[in-house]
Structure 1
Amino acid sequence: MMAVASVTPKGSTSVIRNVYPNYKVIVLNDNFNTFEHVANCLMKYIPNMTGDRAWELTHQVHSEGQAIVWVGPQEPAELYHQQLRREGLTIAPLEEA
């Protein structure tokens, strides 16, 4: 989902569409969070996260060192990033998708 802003230049009848970038929320592996805690946090804070998907992402974090848990507009990405970090998860800095 890409956010789009419509801009009409002064004195013009044409509309220029600016596409805003999406951002990735990435959870990193660490040695102190349990699988259960990571999965529960994902289900609690990431919209529409199912239990099965949360466990799948948690296993990916463990086996691959990281997992992208959400991609979308900057403002909600910042919120989810902050919420997960506050729960003690190790989170990569936000980056453009």
Structure 2
Amino acid sequence: MTTEAPTRPAQQFSPSRTQVRQPYPHFKVIVLDDDFNTFQHVTECLLKYIPGMTLPLARQLTVQVDAEGQAVVWVGPQEQAELYHQQLLREGLTMAPLEPA
């Protein structure tokens, strides 16, 4: 006498059960102008903490912060944005709250 494991009927494909993947939310890291951080300090912080940052871009963003009062220095996934925001804040930069991109 053989015993077989009970089987379950196969589930049929149902369009209502299809999952739609939502894109991971992206956030902007924004540096604000202030009266106490020097151009050199802001540029060095951007180079140190923002991945892929180049010296010309860091300088351009620093000038934008000074001229316009703010600059978006990085856009990407929320967890990374939170990390870069905290690192720049810890270095003394004045930061805007994270904003959805």
- Alignment TM class, shorter chain as reference: 0.7 to 0.9
The 2-side partners of 1:62 and 1:69 are apart by 13
Match of 1:91 in 2: 95
Matched length: 87
Aligned identity (percent) is 67
With structure 2 as the length reference, what TM-score do the two structures score?
0.82
Mind listing any 5+ residue stretches in structure 1 that lack a counterpart? 1-10
Give every structure 1 segment of 4 or more consecutive aligned residues whose post-TM-superposition deviation is greater than 2 Å: 11-15
Does residue 64 in structure 1 map to residue 59 in structure 2?
no
Mind listing any 5+ residue stretches in structure 2 that lack a counterpart? 1-12
The 2-side partners of 1:96 and 1:80 are apart by 15
With structure 1 as the length reference, what TM-score do the two structures score?
0.85
* Structure having the higher Rg: 2
The 2-side partners of 1:93 and 1:18 are apart by 23
Match of 2:50 in 1: 46
The 2-side partners of 1:96 and 1:16 are apart by 21
